Structure 1
Amino acid sequence: MYWYKPIQKYTIYTSVLLLLCGSYACTKPEIKETGARLKYFDLKEYFKNEAARLNKQNPEVDKTVGHNGTAENKKVHIGDWEKELNLFTESDINKPAWKLSYNVQANNDSIVYKAKYPELETREIIIRKKAGQVTEITIVNNTHNILYNTTEKLVYAPNAYYLIEKMQQVKIMGANNYRVKGNF
């Protein structure tokens, strides 16, 4: 059959083209690329800027890491602040689907975001400010399912400290508590 090879050739080209177009169409643009205005405080941008600032300054950090009451303390220089502050960045609530999912209470010195729905992992964000500058960010995350319940409390005070507390209750294995605190 002489017509089989050209059809097979065009089928392969068409399939590859459709696959490429489909994969490009499935990429989700960042909210900034769409030109939309952010509804909530931009945690991603804030911690990206903080990580860049801290990478440049390279401060010595008095870091304490604890697990179930046992702690170890060292003075260290953090090599990758984006990685160190990743849990804070991942708590960003500026997703288009969540634009009406948080109650906002703004005062002169703070902004509080509280989740309206129990299925949202980021339950609360408190941003404290003084003279327009962020003085502290507190984030509470909660994940729960049939097997486990995890609660995270994240606190970041620029030029002072950061704190990560994680309480995890796994049905079969029991409870684990983790604590990381870095003092600048």
Structure 2
Amino acid sequence: MAACTNPTKEAPVGTYYDLKSYVEQQIGQLKSQHPTVVKQAGFGNEKEQQTTKDIDWSRELDLFLQADINKQAYQASYQKLRPDSLTYEYTLKPGEKLPVRFLRIELDSVTREPRLVKATLRTKNSLYESERNVWLQSEKGVLKRYHIEGFQQLAWLDQKRFLIDGQIRMP
């Protein structure tokens, strides 16, 4: 019977910080407020900057949802560290092969909501390798900036670096 359970279900409350709920709440807030974003995007040596209000927030912040480790299958896969009462840090244990290698969440001392989220996601197999280093900053529970950088590489091609940096300006 245990083999029939869904291994990607969320872990019991309190196992890891609930990053998914926080990011989903931010996505909802951003969709309703339509802020202006100064966005820099780059792939390889090409970079461009634009100012826009036209952002698909679910897609834009998807890697932060992917950085959520609160899944039952991940329950024993991370070393937990609490450097202080406002910081959660999770590092993938040696021998584990999950995409989220590292996750750090720093809470605001007043709101107790994340003020900084940092994560490293890595995928590697015989054909493909990628690494994404992501972080976001919030002030008083409102997302102000997000940053995604890393590389992708197919086994037979050169490594391609990418960057996305968004500064959010609320109306």
How high is the TM-score relative to the length of structure 2? 0.83
Task: Determine the structure 2 residue equivalent to 1:178.
Answer: 162
Q: Which has the larger radius of gyration?
A: 1
Paired residues for 1:5-84 under 5 Å: 30-31=9-10, 36-84=12-60
User: 2:123 maps to what in 1?
Assistant: 143
- Distance change >3 Å, CA 135–CA 83, structure 1 → 2: same
Number of aligned positions between the proteins: 157
SS, match of residue 174 in structure 1: coil
1:123 to 101, 106, 115: 101
Q: Which amino acid letter does the alignment assign opposite residue 66 of structure 1?
A: G
TM-score by length of structure 1 reads: 0.78
User: Cα gap change, 1:26/1:110 in structure 2, threshold over 3 Å: closer, same or farther?
Assistant: closer
Q: Can you list the C-alpha shifts for 1:43-78, whole angstroms capped at 9, x where unaligned?
A: 211111000111122110001110112101110114
> What is the root-mean-square deviation of aligned Cα atoms in Å?
2.0
8 Å contact from structure 2 (residues 77, 96) kept in 1: no
2:86 — aligned with what?
A: 109
Task: State the shift of 1:148 in Å.
Answer: 2.4
| Identity across matched positions, percent | 25
1:26 offset after TM fit, Å? 7.6
Q: Which of the numbers 157, 165, 182 marks the counterpart of 2:137? A: 157
Contact 2:7 2:73 in 1 (8 A): no
Aligned to 1:13: none
Kept in 2: contact 1:31–1:38 (CA 8 A):
no
CA distance in 1: counterparts of 2:7 and 2:73, whole angstroms: 12
Runs (4+) of structure 1 exceeding 6 A deviation are 25-29
Q: Is the 8 A contact 2:8 2:73 kept in 1?
A: no
Q: Higher helix fraction: Structure 1 or Structure 2?
A: 1
SS in 1 for 2:76: coil
